Structure 1
Amino acid sequence: MELVVFDLDGTLLNRESAISGYTRETLQLLSHAGIAYTVATGRTLHGARDLLEGHGFLLPQAFKNGVVIYNPDLGRYSHRHLLTQEEIRHVLEAFIGQSITPFLFTIEPGERHAVYHAPLQTRAEERLA
């Protein structure tokens, strides 16, 4: 085995959203055996960075379900797949046509993450915001 790719929630992280002692030991064993490891998750980099810090995650990491690849060595995204303006318009029209409030996750200049949404319509949307 050359590479292990972990999901975060429910896989690498326990119910408290932390890396357990057992998992920490497993990561150390992988490292000592020369087996590389990284993560691929639906979370944003900012939602995972503190959790991964100090656990030897040195390889590029996939965030937002593969939309962006972050390279820790470079300290920046090495790949991102963003929607075109036309794709965004099409998706927004589909959401609005179904009376769903879309949440738009963006990468702003300086690689700052932002979330945009219209006024919230339901309790479920309020919990997400």
Structure 2
Amino acid sequence: MPRGYDMLVVDLDGTLLDREGRVSVRNEAALRDARADGMVVSVATGRAPSEARSILRGIGYSGPLIAAGGAQLVDAATGRTLRRDPITLDVVHDVAARLIEHRHRALVLKDECRTGYH
């Protein structure tokens, strides 16, 4: 019976990983079965690539990693950034001002291949 799709994209936290940050035997088997069935398996995460590296090694993943909430595409095997779509500095300033004004908390991810702050 045809499956109707050729690619499986999995999130790390709360999907592939359990509450202890481990990949369950069941999830490992599902990834292995998907690959054996000819599916392209990819990983997407809100994490920075450096935060995902050891997990990816643990599951034997070396394909493209969709990281930083979709802002960065990285070759998991080499760590090389293939594409990055950062937000502009004007947007950063505007969002930061609104967050401060409304007393909201935020987590900001900074691209590893860029250094320094504006």
SS of the aligned residue for 2:55 comes to helix
Q: 28, 31, 42: which is aligned to 2:35?
A: 31
| Aligned equivalents of 2:26, 2:55: Cα separation in 1 | 15
User: 1:14 offset after TM fit, Å?
Assistant: 1.5
Residue number in structure 2 paired with 1:92: 96
| 2:83 counterpart of 1:82 | no
Q: How does 1:16-27 map to 2 (within 5 A)?
A: 16-27=20-31
Q: 54, 61, 64: which is aligned to 1:60?
A: 64
| Greater relative contact order (CA < 8 Å, ≥ 6 in sequence) | 2
| Aligned equivalents of 1:31, 1:113: Cα separation in 2 | 37
| 2:40 counterpart of 1:40 | no
| Aligned equivalents of 1:47, 1:64: Cα separation in 2 | 10
**Structure with the bigger percentage of strand:** 1
RMSD: 2.4
Normalised to the residue count of structure 2, the TM-score between the two structures is: 0.79
Normalised to the residue count of structure 1, the TM-score between the two structures is: 0.73
Residue number in structure 2 paired with 1:72: 76
User: 1:57 offset after TM fit, Å?
Assistant: 2.2
Q: How many percent identity over aligned positions?
A: 30
Deviations 1:34-85, CA, capped at 9 Å, x for gaps: 2110111112212211111142323211112101111124431111111222
SS of the aligned residue for 1:50 comes to helix
**5+ unaligned residues in a row in structure 1: which ranges?**
117-129
Residue number in structure 2 paired with 1:51: 55
Deviations 1:94-114, CA, capped at 9 Å, x for gaps: 112123354432125xx2789
| Aligned equivalents of 1:74, 1:13: Cα separation in 2 | 23
**5+ unaligned residues in a row in structure 2: which ranges?**
none
CA change 1:62–1:100 in 2 (3 A) is: same
Query: 4+ runs of 1 displaced by more than 4 Å?
Result: none
Q: Please, which moves more after superposition, 50-59 or 15-24? A: 50-59
